[in-house]
């Protein structure tokens, strides 16, 4: 299957995902909120990474790759879904995790079910993953394999195409619901999702995108989102965004990959008002940021909040 401009793509997601009003949450927040249910993308337990994987895996298959090498933390939704997508299409998968070996629970257990090989870097520095991914890929090439090496989150211009093209889906849904320009709100980690959405929303003239950083310093996110949006726009053959991306800081909590009291409170509110669970690492902290901004009168509706999935981390995140 091909996407815009015949870009290689494989079908992994169940699309379109629902765009649903959140009236009780909106009343509590004091601003009109809609939920984009990308926790329902269908592959495995779903999640936002599935959209980018359609293009990344399509590119891998078009290049004749037979092995996918990527990684993240032991609880990484990205790594598990990447391994599952690779195995589904006949590629071997090796995942690189920072730190020392841990029990196979949550996403680690699911990656094992998918048949992934897992290597640990022995270093607590998350950037060690990217170095060891390249080392593993080099070993595989020397052995005659044809690997595709991807950094954490699949945050490349090709991966960002998933959300650049999702803007077309959103444009149709917003028009059907009678919604004008909106603010699109999401968690930002490796920056690929916001990079793609930043490009797509500008391309379709849908409004603006606000990312709440849950991993990297905001200035670094601005640079990464800008570069990824430009790269995705170039691949699509459309103008790159002219406005800089908006990144909010201050909602990380104790650390990346750890719960925050504010995030837990925001997630509980969404669960009790709309029956939707937010993962504690990404979406819960982004919702906390949205609620703070709404209560300060810093955001006006309509807001489209990206429910990005990550269900396994609900049971394993400290």
Query: What is the tens place of the pLDDT at every residue in 217-249?
Result: 999 999 999 999 999 999 999 999 999 999 999
3: number of Cβ within 10 Å: 18
**Continuous segment of H or E residues that includes residue 109:** helix 107-113
Q: Which of 1-5, 77-81, 92-96, 158-162 has the lowest mean pLDDT?
A: 1-5
In contact, 51 and 303? CB cutoff 8 Å: no
Residues 34 and 74 in one domain: no
Q: Give pLDDT, residue 301.
A: 86
Q: Give pLDDT, residue 318.
A: 85
Q: Give pLDDT, residue 1.
A: 38
DSSP state of 205: T
Q: Which of 76, 128, 215, 260 is catalytic?
A: 76
Q: Select from 131, 154, 177 the last residue of a domain.
A: 154
Q: Give pLDDT, residue 5.
A: 53
**Does 3 score more than 60 pLDDT?**
no
Residues 129 and 201 in one domain: no
Residues 146 and 68 in one domain: yes
Would you list the DSSP string of 42-54? Answer: -STT--THHHHHH
**Does 252 score more than 80 pLDDT?**
yes
DSSP state of 30: T
What length is written for the chain?
318
Residues 61 and 101 in one domain: yes
Rounded CA-CA distance 251/262 in Å is 8
Dmax (CA) for the chain in angstroms is: 59
Residues 220 and 240 in one domain: yes
Residues 181 and 305 in one domain: yes
Residues 176 and 302 in one domain: yes
Phi, psi angles (nearest 5°) of residue 122: 75, 5
Residues 17 and 42 in one domain: yes
Mean pLDDT across the chain: 95
Q: What is the pLDDT of residues 130-175, one digit of tens each?
A: 999 999 999 999 999 999 999 999 999 999 999 999 999 999 999 9
Residues 123 and 251 in one domain: no
What total of structural domains would you count in the chain? Answer: 2
**Does 84 score more than 80 pLDDT?**
yes
Residues 112 and 189 in one domain: no
- CATH code of the domain containing 189: 3.40.50.1100
**Does 4 score more than 70 pLDDT?**
no
Domain that holds residue 59: 50-154
Residues 167 and 310 in one domain: yes
Residues 201 and 241 in one domain: yes
Distance of CA 184 to CAs 160, 202, 290, 295, Å? 16, 11, 10, 17
215 catalytic? Reply is: no
Sheet hosting strand 147-149, strand order edge to edge = 117-120, 92-97, 67-72, 147-149
Percent of the chain with pLDDT over 70: 98
Q: Select from 136, 154, 172 the last residue of a domain.
A: 154
Q: Select from 137, 154, 171 the last residue of a domain.
A: 154
Report which of residues 186 and 257 the model is more confident about.
Answer: 186
């Amino acid at each position: 299957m091909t996407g815009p401009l015949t870009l290689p793509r494989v079908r992994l997601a169940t699309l379109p995902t629902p765009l649903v009003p959140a009236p009780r949450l909106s009343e509590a927040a004091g601003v009109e909120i809609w939920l984009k249910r990308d926790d329902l993308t269908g592959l495995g337990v779903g999640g936002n990474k599935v959209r980018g994987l359609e293009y990344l895996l399509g590119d891998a298959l078009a290049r004749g790759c037979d092995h996918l090498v990527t990684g993240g933390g032991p609880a990484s939704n990205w790594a598990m879904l990447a391994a599952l997508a690779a195995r589904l299409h006949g590629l071997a998968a090796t995942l690189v995790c920072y730190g020392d070996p841990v029990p196979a629970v949550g996403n680690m257990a699911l990656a094992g079910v998918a048949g992934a090989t897992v290597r640990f870097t022995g270093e607590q520095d998350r950037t060690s993953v990217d170095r060891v991914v390249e080392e593993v890929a080099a070993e595989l090439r020397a052995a005659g394999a044809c690997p595709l090496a991807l950094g954490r989150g699949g945050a490349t211009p090709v991966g960002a195409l998933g959300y650049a093209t999702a803007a077309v889906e959103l444009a149709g849904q917003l028009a059907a619901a009678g919604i004008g320009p909106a603010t699109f709100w999401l968690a930002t980690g490796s920056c690929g999702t916001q990079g793609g959405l930043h490009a797509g929303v500008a391309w379709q003239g849908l409004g603006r995108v606000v990312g709440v950083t849950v991993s990297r310093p905001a200035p670094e996110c601005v640079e990464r989102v800008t570069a990824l949006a430009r790269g995705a726009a170039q691949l699509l053959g459309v103008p790159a965004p002219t406005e800089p991306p908006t990144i909010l800081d201050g909602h990380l909590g104790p650390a990346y990959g750890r719960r925050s009291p504010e995030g837990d409170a925001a997630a509980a509110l969404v669960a009790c008002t709309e029956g939707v669970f937010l993962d504690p690492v990404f979406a819960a902290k982004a919702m906390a940021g949205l609620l703070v901004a709404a209560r300060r009168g810093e955001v006006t509706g309509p807001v489209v909040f990206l429910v990005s999935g990550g269900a396994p981390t609900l049971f394993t995140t400290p």
